C-alpha cells in the first residue's frame, strides 16, 4: 500500500474550476517526490467510478476549487470530518461524490484518510482554460500549501 494519492479535481475548460487539475499537472512534474510513496492523478470532474483506486492508499489529498464565500484566491484546508459536518453548504462541486467514494472504498476494505486543499474561485462558469487573475495571483501559494501537505502526509 502506498502512503498518498494526490488527486487533482476539476474541469480545465471552466476557468477556476480547473485549479486542482492545473496544480496536479504541475506537482506531478516535480522530480523530488518519492514515487514509492506518492501517486498523482488527474481526477477531472471526479466521478464515483474511481473509488476502487482508494484501496491502495493510506491518505488521499484532494486539490479542488472550493466555494467558501471568501475572496477569490482564498486557500482552504478540510478534513473528511469538516466535509461531513458541513451539510448546509456544498464546498465543492465534487465533495459529495468524494464522500460517497470514501464510503464505497470502506466497503471494499480500505478507507483512506482524507485531506482537501481548495481555493476560492472567481468564476467556474466561464469557458476558458486560464485561471482568473485573482486565482492566478494566489496560485503559487496554493502550490506551496500542497507541497507542504504532501511532505507532511508522507511523513505521518
What pLDDT sits at residue 91? Answer: 53
Report how far apart, in Å, the C-alpha atoms of 142 and of each of 6, 26, 63 are.
Answer: 14, 12, 9
What pLDDT sits at residue 111? Answer: 86
What pLDDT sits at residue 46? Answer: 67
What pLDDT sits at residue 108? Answer: 82
Q: Which residues pair with 4 in a beta bridge?
A: 38, 59
> Cβ(115)–Cβ(61) under 8 Å?
yes
CA separation for the pair 60, 76 (Å, rounded): 16
Report how far apart, in Å, the C-alpha atoms of 45 and of each of 112, 132, 152 are.
Answer: 20, 19, 26
Choose the CATH number for 2-155 among 3.40.50.10540, 3.40.50.1450, 1.10.287.130, 3.40.50.720: 3.40.50.1450
Alpha helices in the chain (DSSP H): 19-28, 80-85, 95-108, 133-155
What pLDDT sits at residue 19? Answer: 96
What pLDDT sits at residue 87? Answer: 58
Binned average pLDDT, 10 residues per bin, the chain of 156 residues: 92 92 96 94 76 88 91 93 66 60 80 92 89 97 98 93
Amino acid at each position: 500500500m502506498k502512503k498518498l494519492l494526490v488527486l487533482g479535481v476539476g474541469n480545465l475548460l471552466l476557468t477556476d474550476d480547473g485549479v486542482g487539475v492545473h496544480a496536479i499537472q504541475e506537482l506531478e512534474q516535480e522530480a523530488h517526490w518519492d514515487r514509492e510513496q506518492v501517486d498523482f492523478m488527474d481526477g477531472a470532474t471526479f466521478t464515483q467510478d474511481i473509488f476502487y483506486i482508494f484501496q491502495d492508499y493510506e491518505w488521499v489529498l484532494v486539490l479542488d476549487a472550493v466555494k467558501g464565500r471568501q475572496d477569490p484566491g482564498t486557500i482552504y484546508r478540510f478534513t473528511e470530518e469538516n466535509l461531513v459536518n458541513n451539510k448546509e453548504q456544498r464546498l465543492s462541486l465534487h465533495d459529495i461524490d468524494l464522500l460517497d467514494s470514501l464510503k464505497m472504498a470502506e466497503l471494499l476494505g480500505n478507507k483512506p484518510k482524507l485531506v482537501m486543499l481548495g481555493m476560492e474561485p472567481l468564476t467556474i462558469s466561464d469557458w476558458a482554460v486560464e485561471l482568473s487573475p485573482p486565482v492566478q495571483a494566489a496560485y503559487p501559494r496554493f502550490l506551496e500549501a500542497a507541497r507542504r501537505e504532501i511532505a507532511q502526509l508522507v511523513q505521518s
